[in-house]
Amino acid sequence: MSDMVGDVGTPTKDIMSTNDEDLKKLEDDFKNLQDQTQDLINERAHMESEIRSLKKRANRLDDEVRSLKSPPLIVGHLEDILDQERGIVRSSNGTVFQVALNQRLTPNVLKPGVRVALNQDTLAVIEVLHDAWDPMVSGAEMVERPDIDYDSVAGLEEQKQYVREAIELPLNSPELFEKVGVEPPKGILLVGPPGCGKTLLAKAVANHTEATFIRMVGSELAQKYIGEGGRMVRELFSLAKEKAPSIIFLDEIDAIGAKRLDGSTSGDREVQRTLMQLLAELDGFDVLENVKIIAATNRPDILDEALLRPGRFDRVIEIPIPDEVGRKAIFKLNIDKMSTKKIQLKQVVDKTNGFSGAEIKATCVEAGMIAIREGRGYITQSDFMDSIKRINLKKIKGGLKDSPDTIYS
């Protein structure tokens, strides 16, 4: 009987053992499936995140494509606001229009005088642009200082002293003028023939002062469209005030400062409007503290008298054709940098009577070219004599003897 019980018990244990193994295997499989499911869930979440990121990028690219395909906007200025829906704008060519205003723009943003972007077809105001200087005005600021110092400007000792007193002294030591009780000079006008050192002297000022130096040529202010020249003048002085202490150098000011005539064309009238704006900035209600103006011209005979009155350009400094002492100083400055042999400087100076500073430098360069052409590494006296003959020949052929420079002689 006991044997029968023993025989029955053994298979039962085997079955239980097999069931335990199967159960454990099923548990392991179930755990693996859970892990795989979690991995798939994580992978799906990652892919969904990538899909959202790609959709955002696709939307941005679509916006860029639409922006590139959209017609360009016109830049103008908001002159006045009539009501919530209408305003008066001046386009870039000076024409005034009544246009619709973008209702999405808040009233505190839309103010008279702000720069706005206009629809090319309807001229409706699309958006308000941030304040920015005209590229020609902002580009006039000299970031790197010229390598020209006062020692590089030879033969103009008296003129250099005048410029330093009128420009550098008020910026560096304003207390001296306050102590005496006088207002410092507002600006100076450099007059003289071409090539005598007007621009060179201005570069030396830029090198010796810590003030912001802004250089603008007069012809750059003579614009085609009505009001553009005056706007550039306003921005020029506004930039100078923001960057103060600063110096504005207006080269060839005769391009906008010529005498006003009655029978003038529309272009002449626009130049005259630019001149009026310049005069207003020079002696307007806003005091030009720590802003000095240097102007240069080789045609003082055609300048408007309003420019020359005291309070605008307080000093008119003539930069003449160099005399014998000046020519000697300029030649010495250039020859010291050159490889020469047995140069009789007095003879060279005597032969260049009437030469400007630029012509003297051209004489030295031409003498060097003659030496190079003949295969020498140094310049001789004969090279200078030949060079002087060539420069004189160029002056005669170029008609320089009959140029406006005769007004200085």
pLDDT for the residue numbered 5: 46
The predicted-structure confidence for 216-235, as pLDDT tens digits, reads as follows 888 787 776 666 777 788 88
Q: Where are the domains of the chain?
A: 74-128, 137-318, 324-408
Beta pairing, strands 291-297 & 246-251:
parallel
Measured between its terminal Cα atoms, the distance across the chain in Å is 153
pLDDT for the residue numbered 372: 93
Using an 8 Å Cβ cutoff, are 351 and 385 in contact? yes
The CATH architecture of the domain made up of 74-128 is: Beta Barrel (2.40)
Residue 51 banded pLDDT, cuts 50, 70, 90: very high
| CATH of segment(s) 324-408 | 1.10.8.60
Does residue 402 register a pLDDT over 50?
no
Burial of 289 (C-beta count, 10 Å sphere; 0-12/13-18/19+) = exposed
Does residue 408 register a pLDDT over 60?
no
The predicted-structure confidence for 319-345, as pLDDT tens digits, reads as follows 888 888 888 988 998 888 888 888 888
Does residue 1 register a pLDDT over 60?
no
Instruction: State the pTM of this model.
Output: 0.64
The predicted-structure confidence for 124-148, as pLDDT tens digits, reads as follows 888 887 665 555 565 566 656 677 7
Does residue 406 register a pLDDT over 70?
no
Specify which residues 295 forms β-bridges with.
189, 250
User: For domain 137-318, is the CATH number 3.40.50.300?
Assistant: yes
The predicted-structure confidence for 166-200, as pLDDT tens digits, reads as follows 888 888 888 888 888 888 888 889 998 888 888 88
